[in-house]
């Protein structure tokens, strides 16, 4: 019973006690002022005697007011109890709960903030679930493939051509698994990194030009034309770190571009900032994909038909943040995508 009163009625009791003491304090102050006025002769003793019934009435009013406060406090505190009950549901994992309190400005604001919180928690839970599913898929698929083809290689009735094909698949899947592990470790490292060390000035335009040449086998295989407009830009940073930005963005543009299309790459040396942009004429993305583009392991292509593990763009975003820059995305379904990076000088 004691625990019940402590947990369920503590706020109501506090309110009643507070109101009671306000009433009592007011009564005591009024009585003290009257006694003081009588002491200095401003109020006669006969007037004090006549005032006693009044003070008795005031005492009755105090008791009545306190009783009404105790009676009405439960209703007055119902909105608070509603929020408390909703909080218990959220603590139990129910993020669909909503609170709708009207009439009192502060409580309306509280309910709106609470609903926003549950929405964000629900989104985070969805992301966590998707992360686990995608992570499991990306690791399990190459392992299953390697195991399956390794079993086939144990058979003695394979032709040399089949054997070489299976070995090639095993090597490809092994490289995919190694790349995935490397990206996971790199992302984990950069997520906990706050300050970039080993900064030195280098030509950013030359680095991007070398990266384009490095990716030449990929864009040549799809007969893609690369239009390049690079201003001379010297940037102070970690050269190995920034190169991963261009490798991932260019690789992405090639991956999602149509055969025979064009990729536009530009680097502008502006007055107060450096602006890099890469635009393709590929498949583009819908609003849902664009909203979750930088989530780890998220891939807009749920069939996983395109090679990748959903770690490239989160890695890019984190490196850009470490460089004190920002990244913007413009895209529409079947209209291509444009990534813009702003770096400070």
pLDDT tens figures, 269-327: 988 899 999 999 888 888 877 777 777 655 555 444 455 556 778 888 888 988 889 99
Which pLDDT does position 80 carry in this prediction? 73
Confidence of residue 112 (pLDDT cuts 50, 70, 90): confident
**Tens digits of residue pLDDT in 99-108:** 887 766 676 7
In 81-238, which ranges are E strands? Answer: 200-203, 225-230, 234-237
**Tens digits of residue pLDDT in 77-99:** 677 777 778 888 877 777 778 88
Confidence of residue 127 (pLDDT cuts 50, 70, 90): low
| Token code pair at residue 234 | 């010297």
Q: Is residue 219 within 8 Å of residue 296, measured between CB atoms?
A: no
Confidence of residue 243 (pLDDT cuts 50, 70, 90): confident
What is the mean predicted confidence (pLDDT) over 141-157?
Answer: 81
* pLDDT at position 46 over 60: no
Q: Is residue 276 within 8 Å of residue 267, measured between CB atoms?
A: yes
Whole-prediction pTM: 0.52
Q: How far apart are CA 338 and CA 282, in angstroms?
A: 10
Q: How far apart are CA 266 and CA 277, in angstroms?
A: 5
Lowest-pLDDT choice from 38-42, 213-217, 236-240: 38-42
Which pLDDT does position 93 carry in this prediction? 75
Report which of 329, 337, 327 is spatially closest to residue 284, judged by C-alpha positions.
337
Which pLDDT does position 5 carry in this prediction? 44
Per the listing, tokens 């992570």 go with: 135
Which pLDDT does position 208 carry in this prediction? 94
Residue 46: which residues within 8 A CB-CB, separation 6 or more?
none
In 147-260, which ranges are E strands? Answer: 200-203, 225-230, 234-237
Tell me what the pLDDT averaged over the chain comes to. Answer: 76
Report which of 213, 318, 210, 327 is spatially closest to residue 278, judged by C-alpha positions.
327
| Token code pair at residue 250 | 């260019």
Strands 273-280 and 262-269: antiparallel
């Amino acid at each position: 019973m004691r625990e019940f009163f402590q947990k369920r009625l503590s706020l109501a009791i506090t309110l009643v006690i507070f109101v009671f003491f306000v009433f009592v304090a007011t009564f005591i102050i009024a009585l003290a002022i009257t006694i003081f006025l009588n002491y200095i002769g401003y109020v006669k003793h006969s007037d004090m005697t006549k005032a006693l019934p009044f003070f008795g009435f005031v005492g009755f009013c105090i008791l009545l007011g306190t009783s009404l406060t105790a009676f009405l406090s439960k209703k007055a505190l119902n909105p608070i109890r509603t929020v408390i009950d909703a909080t218990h549901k959220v603590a139990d994992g129910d993020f669909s709960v909503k609170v709708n309190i009207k009439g009192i400005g502060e409580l309306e604001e509280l309910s709106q903030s609470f609903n926003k919180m549950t929405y964000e928690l629900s989104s985070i839970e969805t992301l966590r679930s998707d992360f686990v599913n995608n992570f499991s898929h990306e690791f399990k698929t190459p392992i299953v493939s390697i195991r399956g083809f390794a079993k086939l290689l144990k058979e003695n009735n394979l032709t040399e051509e089949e054997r070489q094909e299976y070995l090639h698949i095993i090597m490809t899947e092994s490289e995919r698994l190694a790349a995935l592990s490397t990206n996971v470790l790199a992302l984990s490292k950069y997520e906990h990194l706050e300050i970039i060390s080993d900064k030195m000035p280098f030509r950013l335009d030359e680095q991007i030009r070398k990266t384009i040449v490095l990716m030449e086998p990929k864009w040549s295989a799809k007969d893609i034309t690369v239009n390049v407009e690079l201003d001379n830009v010297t940037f102070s940073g970690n050269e190995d770190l920034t190169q991963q930005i261009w490798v991932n963005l260019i690789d992405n543009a090639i991956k999602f571009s149509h055969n025979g299309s064009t990729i536009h790459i530009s680097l502008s040396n502006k007055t107060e900032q450096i602006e890099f942009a890469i635009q393709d004429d590929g498949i583009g993305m819908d609003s849902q994909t664009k909203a979750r583009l930088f989530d780890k392991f998220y891939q807009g292509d749920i069939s996983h038909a395109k090679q990748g593990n959903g770690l490239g763009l989160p890695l890019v975003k984190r490196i850009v943040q470490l460089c004190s820059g920002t990244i913007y995305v413009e895209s529409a379904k079947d209209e291509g995508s444009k990534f813009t990076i702003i770096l400070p000088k």
